[in-house]
């Protein structure tokens, strides 16, 4: 990153500028990330800086103080004599016409209206910290940026220090302008078994305000935003991406000001700092600019998450194929049954066996025993050792389920320590449970001891860490308490990987991913639903962390039946696993699953590091993606048929991000599965074809006709 400090004093005031300013004292800074984006910050005098440019790279010799003045808006009737800055933290006291970036009160409750002034800065190869003081109120505000030339993500956070305890209502991470050439923004909603639903909202005067007050990231509130410019698609055009890495619930403001400017603010949900303090910090806001469509943002987020955020206990270890027993046995644990299931799972290709809910306390259903983390002697009279030994004898590793932050009123621990539960006694329960108060050290110690007791006597390399209810109220201490517990366990059991699950995808964000290695994306093992959820989650999540399991023949959450081939290929798009009862598989189903699993294992060495590029499918019934190595030499295209097409013949599927002049060999690897109703002979049905990148991107592949709920899988290789 280049950070250029330019303290130039411009020659003259532009005509009509406010007379009170007799000299232009402009400070500028520039962030570059090796050719994809430039961000320019500029400030007049000692005021807070504004982002005066963010987008395609600017020439190295661009005059930044000129940009500062050229960025200034005109003033006409009915306006203030100068437009208040849309700074990194818009200040209410400067008559800013929109939402301020900071709202706080003094220790005694008096509202404070801070006004900050330049204090200093620190620069490094890839980082920039700018510090501002408000001496009258005893406050210091710091903006901390870093660029990453490899992933193209810029990280940004804000820190507030006070000379005495103050109450924080709202602290935004550094505030960015949103582009004027954009007609809409894309953010995310969702529900249990329906995560990552995209919302497209047109820009208009006023604000789009999203605030998650559930205390966890939630299915409903993935903290991300994409701002495409007019004409942007998955594969082309310009877009801006934002993600707030925090698991306690976020607030987002996307506001169009009366003067037409637009601002984006992200921070913790308001008022979740419940105590006065002298230091507050936002979580990290991850941002990026792309000129290669939404895919440019998606690939940056995918790479940054996989290569910079997740810490892998053993980064050379390939992601093992999982078997999870939840949908096979639920709470009904019987050693011989589980051993039989483990035999079959290993035979299908599983490499890790995960024992889900039901092994502890008196947990025969979901009404009791959460927090009684001792092995149930009725189900496991000799403890877990016989099952774990059996799993190991099959060459699989062993994982186990916990829901550490939760407690059932019907549990020994709740009877002994009712005060450990968060929220009032008369609160509404969620799945018959309460959350533990994670801000209490004795609670964290207790859970740590119980979990450590299991982890230290068994060879366990994996925890599925669940969180099945929202909190009674948002509280940042709760999130920090959860983080502290995970951090302590990881420090003491560094070989153990953790999967973040919250009734499926209820806790997915870059904050939890700093501490975990996998997400359970959804409780929906319905392949059709999963295809869609995976497709949209790929805007942020890479293959390596996204769990996807082959579910039962009749899906337990949708009641639908899908062929094993579709179920297996959908799971093979991400970190593959099985979750059905393998005893239900007939010979054909087992053979197909074995084959697809073997294909996945053969390809995972490169696929787990590949980028997921969403394709612009001409047929809305087809959800397609191209998973490609960074050098572009190898790729696989998954074209999922999610419905019956409107038109009779398949439309060409254009690929993306290839070298126009290179030639590629394309193999439809499952062409033998074409149904009898596919009567013609498009070339791909006959065998591999060799064509140019230009043809693949401008004409596109003609796939054979297929039924809905099927997947074509194409392998591509640069010749």
520 binds ligand DGJ, rule: CB under 6 A: yes
Number of H helices, E strands in the chain: 14, 35
Q: Which secondary-structure segment (H or E) carries 266?
A: strand 262-268
- 692 class by beta-carbon count within 10 Å (0-12 exposed, 13-18 middle, 19+ buried): middle
Is 34 catalytic? The answer is no
| Sign of the four-CA dihedral 87, 88, 91, 97 | positive
Measured CA to CA, the distance from residue 45 to residue 25 in angstroms comes to: 5
Q: Is 376 in the site for ligand DGJ (CB under 6 A)?
A: no
* Interface with ligand DGJ, residue 468, by CB under 6 A: yes
- Strand-pairing partners, residue 322, are 352, 577
Nearest Cα to Cα of residue 714 among 628, 632, 648 = 628
Minimum distance between the CB of residue 692 and ligand DGJ, rounded to whole angstroms? 45
Q: For residue 222, what are its two tokens?
A: 């993935």
Stretch of 11-19, 501-509, 527-535, 651-659 contacting ligand DGJ, by CB under 6 A: 501-509
Q: Which is nearer to ligand DGJ, 176 or 359 (CB)?
A: 359
466 versus 619: smaller Cβ distance to ligand DGJ: 466
Count Cβ atoms below 10 Å from residue 489 Cβ, excluding itself: 22
Q: What gap in Å lies between CA 714 and CA 703, rounded to an integer?
A: 10
Among residues 32, 187, 356, 466, the one annotated as catalytic is 466
Strand 622-628 and strand 634-641: pairing?
A: antiparallel
Site string for ligand DGJ, 326-345 (x = CB under 6 A): x-------------------
**Least distance in Å: CB of 640 to ligand DGJ?**
23
Name the residue whose CB lies closest to ligand DGJ. Answer: 357
Binder of ligand DGJ out of 193, 503, 516, 517 (CB under 6 A): 503
Nearest Cα neighbor of 204 from 166, 255, 152 is 255
Contact assessment for residue 173 and residue 244, using Cβ atoms and an 8 Å cutoff: yes
Active site residue 161: no
Residue 54 found at the interface with ligand DGJ (CB under 6 A): no
Question: Residues 509, 523, 526, 619: which is the catalytic one?
Answer: 523
Q: How far apart are CA 92 and CA 99, in angstroms?
A: 8
Query: Which residues in 186-225 contact ligand DGJ (CB under 6 A)?
Result: none
Q: Is residue 581 near ligand DGJ by the rule CB under 6 A? A: no
Q: Which is nearer to ligand DGJ, 356 or 625 (CB)?
A: 356
Token output for 460: 């366990």
Q: How far is the CB of 505 from ligand DGJ (least distance, A)?
A: 9
Which SS3 state, helix, strand or coil, does residue 535 take?
helix
# binding residues, ligand DGJ (CB under 6 A): 12
Contacts (CB under 6 A) with ligand DGJ, residues 381-420:
401
Residue 501 binds to ligand DGJ (criterion: CB under 6 A):
yes
- Applying CB under 6 A, among 114, 245, 504, 640 the residue interacting with ligand DGJ is 504
- Interface with ligand DGJ, residue 523, by CB under 6 A: yes
Q: Which two tokens stand for residue 700?
A: 């596109």
Q: Judged by CB under 6 A, which of 357, 509, 536, 709 binds ligand DGJ? A: 357
In whole angstroms, the minimum distance from the beta carbon of 90 to ligand DGJ comes to: 40
Q: Give 276-334 as a DSSP string.
A: -EEEEE--PEEEEEESBHHHHHHHHHHHHIIIII---SSTTSPPPPEEE-HHHHTT---
Residue 499 CB, nearest distance to ligand DGJ (Å)? Answer: 10
Closer Cβ to ligand DGJ, 62 or 366, answer by number: 366
The smaller minimum CB distance to ligand DGJ, of residues 6 and 366, is found at 366
- The stretch near ligand DGJ (CB under 6 A) out of 369-377, 417-425, 499-507, 701-709 is 499-507
Q: How far is CA 443 from CA 407, 431, 448, in A?
A: 11, 21, 8
The two three-digit tokens of residue 52, written as one number: 């005066």
Q: Cβ closer to ligand DGJ: 152 or 507? A: 507
List interacting residues with ligand DGJ (CB under 6 A). Answer: 326, 356-357, 366, 401, 466, 468, 501, 503-504, 520, 523
Catalytic residues: 466, 523
């Amino acid at each position: 990153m280049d950070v250029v400090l330019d303290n130039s004093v411009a020659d003259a005031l532009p005509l009509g500028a406010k007379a009170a300013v007799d000299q232009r004292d402009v400070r500028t800074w520039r962030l570059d990330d090796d050719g994809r984006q430039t961000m320019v910050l500029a400030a007049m005098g000692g005021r807070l800086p504004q982002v005066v440019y963010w987008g395609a790279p600017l020439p190295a010799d661009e005059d930044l103080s000129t940009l500062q003045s050229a960025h200034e808006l005109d003033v006409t009737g009915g306006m203030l004599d100068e437009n208040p800055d849309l700074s990194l933290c818009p200040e209410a006291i400067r008559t800013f016409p929109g939402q301020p970036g900071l709202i706080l009160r003094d220790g005694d409750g008096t509202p404070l209206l801070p006004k900050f002034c330049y204090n200093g800065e620190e620069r490094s190869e890839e980082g920039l910290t700018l510090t501002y003081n408000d001496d009258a109120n005893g406050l210091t505000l710091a903006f901390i940026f870093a660029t990453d030339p490899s992933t193209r993500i810029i990280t940004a956070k804000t820190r507030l220090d006070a000379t005495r305890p103050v109450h924080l209502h709202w602290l935004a991470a550094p505030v960015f302008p949103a582009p004027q050439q954009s007609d809409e923004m894309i953010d995310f909603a969702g529900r249990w078994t329906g995560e990552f639903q995209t919302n497209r909202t047109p820009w208009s005067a006023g604000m789009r305000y999203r605030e998650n007050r559930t205390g966890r990231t939630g299915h409903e509130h993935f903290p991300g935003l994409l701002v495409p410019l007019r004409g942007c698609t998955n594969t082309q055009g310009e877009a801006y991406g934002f993600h707030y890495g925090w698991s306690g619930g976020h607030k987002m403001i996307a506001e169009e000001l009366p003067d037409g400017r637009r601002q984006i603010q992200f921070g913790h949900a308001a008022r979740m700092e419940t105590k006065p303090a002298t230091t507050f910090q936002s979580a990290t806001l991850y941002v990026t600019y792309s000129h290669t469509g939404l895919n440019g943002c998606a690939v940056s987020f995918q790479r940054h998450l996989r290569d910079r955020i997740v810490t892998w206990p053993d980064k050379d270890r390939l992601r093992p194929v999982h078997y999870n027993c939840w949908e096979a046995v639920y709470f009904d644990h019987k050693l011989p049954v589980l051993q039989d299931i483990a035999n079959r799972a290993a035979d299908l290709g599983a490499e890790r066996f995960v024992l889900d809910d039901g092994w502890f306390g008196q947990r025969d259903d979901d009404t009791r025993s959460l927090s009684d983390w001792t092995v149930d002697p009725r189900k496991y009279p000799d403890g877990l050792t016989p099952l774990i030994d059996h799993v190991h004898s099959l060459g699989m590793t062993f994982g186990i389920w916990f829901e550490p932050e939760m407690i059932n009123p019907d549990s020994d621990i709740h009877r002994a320590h009712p005060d450990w539960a968060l929220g009032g006694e008369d609160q509404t329960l969620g799945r018959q449970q309460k959350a533990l108060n994670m801000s209490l050290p004795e609670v964290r110690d207790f859970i740590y001891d119980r979990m450590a007791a299991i982890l230290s006597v068994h060879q366990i390399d994996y925890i599925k860490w669940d969180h099945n209810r929202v909190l009674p109220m948002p509280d940042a201490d709760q999130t920090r308490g959860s983080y502290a517990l995970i951090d302590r366990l990881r420090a003491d059991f560094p070989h153990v990987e953790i999967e973040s699950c919250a009734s499926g995808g209820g806790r997915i964000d870059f904050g939890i991913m700093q501490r975990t290695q996998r997400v359970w994306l959804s409780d929906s093992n319905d392949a059709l639903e999963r295809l869609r959820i995976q497709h949209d989650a790929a805007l942020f999540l890479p293959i390596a962390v996204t769990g996807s399991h082959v579910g039962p023949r009749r899906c337990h959450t949708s009641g639908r039946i899908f062929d094993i081939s579709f179920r297996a290929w959908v799971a093979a798009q991400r970190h593959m696993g099985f979750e059905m009862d393998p005893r239900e598989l007939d010979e054909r189903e087992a053979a197909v699953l074995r084959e697809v699993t073997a294909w996945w294992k053969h390809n995972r060495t490169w696929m787990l590091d590949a980028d997921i590029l969403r394709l612009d499918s001409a047929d809305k019934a087809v959800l397609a993606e191209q998973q490609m190595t960074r050098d572009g030499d190898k790729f696989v295209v998954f074209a999922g048929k999610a419905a019956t097409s409107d038109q009779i013949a398949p439309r060409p599927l254009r690929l993306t991000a290839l070298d126009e002049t290179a030639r590629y060999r394309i193999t439809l690897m499952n062409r033998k599965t074409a149904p009898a109703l596919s009567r013609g002979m498009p070339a791909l049905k006959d065998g591999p074809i060799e064509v140019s990148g230009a043809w693949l991107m401008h004409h596109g592949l003609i796939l054979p006709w297929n039924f809905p709920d099927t997947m074509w899988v194409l392998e591509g290789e640069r010749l």
